[in-house]
Amino acid sequence: MSEPLTAATGPGRPRDAEVDRKALRAAVELYAELGWAKFTLDAVARRAGIGKAAIYRRWPTRERLITEALERALVLPAITIDTGSLREDLLELARSAMGYYLGPYGLAGLRLRVEAHACPELFAGLAAGVQRSRVLEARAVVRRAIARGELGEQASPTLILDTLLGGLLNHVLATPEDLRAEMTARSEQYVEDVTAFVLTAATSIYPGSPPAPAAREV
């Protein structure tokens, strides 16, 4: 998430960063639970335990609040996953994805993808930004593996990543609520198992050819 707000908003007292944090977190939680149709500034104030006036001073409309809240919660900073090994890169990527799916903002991200179709004027651009922040580095992981010779040049980043990340997401969504705690406790093992499965399939279907050793000087 972005750095907390600390700057003043104009004449008078500076904004209270703690109030901002509480309001933004409450906004994401309520959006995840209730969706856009039932999202109100009053409800955010109640969830955050702060006065309604503080909310309205900062965000005069619910559109402005939800846009800022979701951007801060869901748009990831640029990262690089590059351990030099496809297996380790995929494991790191899968752990990050599983942590997100199981974390406090996973449901908000899923709801955003759905509501980008229902309210494109408000959510389509934001959903696209969230998607870009998560997809670009994932694709780069596969492309670097191709460059290293771990996968063949015909390897499909889309197919590999859909299988890995889609498998994790389906596991989370398909687990009954009464088994969620057990699923969460075993999530690391599941991540390792799915990664091993995808890696085995990918290297079998798209066999690589390690670069030839450099010729020795005579």
Q: Give the CATH number, domain containing residue 143.
A: 1.10.357.10
pLDDT, one tens digit per residue, over 44-92 is 999 999 999 999 999 999 999 999 999 999 887 767 899 999 999 999 9
* C-alpha distances out from residue 116 to 30, 34, 69, Å: 17, 15, 16
Tokens 């030099």: give the residue.
84
Domain count, the chain: 2
Return d(Cα 126, Cα 210) in angstroms, integer: 40
CB atoms within 10 A of CB 128: 11
Number of H helices, E strands in the chain: 10, 0
pLDDT at 34 over 90: yes
Q: Per-residue pLDDT for 213 more than 80?
A: no
Cβ–Cβ under 8 Å, residues 207 and 150: no
Contact predicate 117/178, CB 8 Å: no
Digit-coded pLDDT (tens) for 90-103:
999 999 999 989 98
In a domain, 4, yes or no: no
Q: Which amino acid is at 76?
A: L
Asked whether residue 218 carries a pLDDT value surpassing 90, the answer given is no
Last residue of a domain, one of 30, 50, 73: 73
- Which residue carries 């498998």 as its tokens? 167
208 vs 218, higher pLDDT: 208
Q: What are the DSSP E strand ranges found in the chain?
A: none
Choose the final residue of a domain: 28, 43, 73. 73
| CATH number for the domain harbouring residue 45 | 1.10.10.60
**With 90 as the cut, is the pLDDT of residue 215 above it?**
no
Q: Which tens digit of pLDDT belongs to each residue from 122-166?
A: 999 999 988 887 788 899 999 999 999 999 999 999 999 999 999
* Interatomic CA distance for residues 161 and 42, integer angstroms: 40
Statement to judge: residues 30 and 137 lie in one domain: no
Domain that holds residue 63: 17-73
Mean pLDDT of all residues belonging to the chain: 88
Residues 166, 66 share a domain = no
Q: What is the distance between the alpha carbons of residues 98 and 75, in angstroms, rounded to a whole number? A: 16
- Residues 101-123 have a mean pLDDT of 91
Q: What global pTM score does this model have? A: 0.77
The answer to whether residues 46 and 94 belong to one domain is no
15 pLDDT tier (thresholds 50, 70, 90)? low
